[in-house]
Structure 1
């Protein structure tokens, strides 16, 4: 084969891989948009069904527990037996949940519908991460950023949906979510055949021995089982803290803006949107910066670096809330994709399980924050809870204890 032919084949393959990365990122966006439908409905459901903050917290808890805590279990199964058909099946489950949510007459019906949405997400993420693994090549940080940007962008649509769909249309506007699920299934019809072919050609991602030489060669961070266990535990703690703070912002900050600043339901979405859309940018650039400056440095920067802005946010005049929320979102989420890649490097050959632990279990445990914070807000007031939560990112200083990686 001539060098020209090889170059052409390589160019076609590269283009196909980037097409797959963009496609699976788009599905990630649609999946997380459906989850955003649930949180975007909070102000509407609070009024329509006369919910209190504790019940709002339970809805968020149910969504995150079903979508997150089940991910490691599904990841373990899919690591042993990858199943491309699970991708569209998960979207079908979410479609059922969206339809139920639009017509739920009471709190228990809302919970049941949210379970279906969460299960769909739990099924999607481990298999989606494996698709990214096959398509990434050597640019794992960039590939994971492309994938995670899709999800974070989908989450950022929540405030916009509240402003332009759910406030005018009410609860029935959740039918819009079924269109998101249908669109995801259509895109997956292109991804699943490629994914199936990769499994036939390469099998599941190979498990490498945790020897020091192999770890150095592949850029992995492990130096023994104890080091790996410590690093993984600390990583989960950092993601846990980030998700608790994220629960405070995503579930309750809009209510805080209404109570503390007297904003309308619609205008209260603006700081939340700025926080989330800046987080999308942070996710993308954080992955690229981690490839250059190291995973550990980015984890420290993302959590501990956000602490000053988090501490200031509850006490600022309104005009300073907007830029601070944006900077806070960018910094906090700059370590989002980094944490996933870090976990995958700590657990070679267990892509689904690593993804499940970080984007699944740790976030699901953080969902406890929604229930705890909602209960505390009903008892002690929302202003006190938002002030207490602002101290959480200080835990990020513990990232300095993470093992050194190849960029240090």
Structure 2
């Protein structure tokens, strides 16, 4: 029963996170079809990220205080509707508003869902969280293929096809009375059995996640344009983005297994150390090897992903929803704030030049992670 429940949460997560990946996958389309500059196109990513970064911790605090099973299907529907409305092409402000609606849906989904996964899993939870995160990564990986396939259908029908995963996700995430009663019973348990709150370690972890977020979101936003700048076709750019997202899925699943052997903090440190040369290879090696380096870089950057969520929950055991909102939302979404700066530099120079500073960020994350303690799992 527990495994089926975790699998259901992972499948629902996939249906939501396809819309985070879709925002990055739409950037080349917006540049070529609507004549947006790199800075303007990256502003679309910022619109989704900025709103999510502000409100996601608030939804996490709400999940700490009460059971909100209705919020998960509602947020899934909002995520899909926002992306579908981008097709209306009612001008740049309307496009920003549509993407912001999708970002709001994504923001509302993650804290409540992550808290449910942790309480359903029991114990350390990093293996269950890695499966939950894997579902999101699969959604990310499928997003470029979904966007290319849907937009090959002319007219509004193609854009509404992008809303199909949201419809599936709403069905998967509909409240079930038996499951929700169990969830409400568990919701109070972590706070009642909470240990000490290590706020200093949590702040340090948040810095690590911010640095990682800037690196990954920068790559995911511009890798398709980078491949096209180096002579690849639009399909080649979509394949590079797919390789990036597919690598992230493998890294997420690997993270839970490595943590069982090395511990979470040691795994996080080693993953960031491995990510640095992979990012350098992506930017410096010949084009055919870009796909390999993209997958390796994403895998290394995503090995820590689910581990950082459970670390945050164990640093703040009485505020698991808030910790999930920060590690999954606020600090992750802050990476989108760097997008317009990268885009402006790309407009002034080249995409490759704009991405070169990202190679330093995994080393910075490694240095920050060296000071993290290994907490005891929350009750």
TM-score by length of 2: 0.93
Counterpart for residue 64 of structure 1: 49
Offset, 1:379: 2.1
Specify the structure having the higher radius of gyration (Cα). Answer: 1
Give the conservation status (yes or no) of the 8 Å contact 2:218–2:336. Answer: no
In 2: Cα distance, 1:178 partner to 1:323 partner: 31
Aligned residue pairs total 376
In 2: Cα distance, 1:22 partner to 1:292 partner: 23
Counterpart for residue 165 of structure 1: 150
Structure 1 residue 108 and structure 2 residue 108: aligned?
Answer: no
Counterpart for residue 4 of structure 1: none
In 1: Cα distance, 2:16 partner to 2:193 partner: 34
Counterpart for residue 204 of structure 1: 188
Counterpart for residue 128 of structure 1: 113
Give the match's secondary structure for 1:266: helix
Counterpart for residue 184 of structure 1: 169
In 2: Cα distance, 1:207 partner to 1:124 partner: 21
The one-character-per-residue Cα deviations of 1:135-181 (angstroms, maximum 9, x if unpaired) are 10225011101110011111111222344333564886231222111
Q: 1:384 to 1:335 in 2, by over 3 A?
A: same
Match of 2:291 among 307, 322, 330: 322
Q: Structure 1: where are the runs of 5+ without partners?
A: 1-15, 216-221
Counterpart for residue 283 of structure 1: 252
Counterpart for residue 313 of structure 1: 282
Offset, 1:315: 1.0
Counterpart for residue 129 of structure 2: 144
Please show how residues 9-408 of structure 1 align to structure 2 within 5 Å.
16-138=1-123, 140-167=125-152, 169=154, 173-189=158-174, 191-207=175-191, 228-260=198-230, 262-398=231-367, 399-405=369-375
Offset, 1:69: 2.9
Offset, 1:405: 4.7
The one-character-per-residue Cα deviations of 1:279-298 (angstroms, maximum 9, x if unpaired) are 10110110122133111111
The one-character-per-residue Cα deviations of 1:104-163 (angstroms, maximum 9, x if unpaired) are 332111111111111111111111112202210225011101110011111111222344
TM-score by length of 1: 0.87
The one-character-per-residue Cα deviations of 1:78-101 (angstroms, maximum 9, x if unpaired) are 211221111122123224313312
Q: Which moved more, 1:342-351 or 1:93-102?
A: 93-102
Give the conservation status (yes or no) of the 8 Å contact 1:235–1:339. Answer: yes
Q: 1:51 to 1:345 in 2, by over 3 A?
A: same
Q: 1:208 to 1:379 in 2, by over 3 A?
A: farther
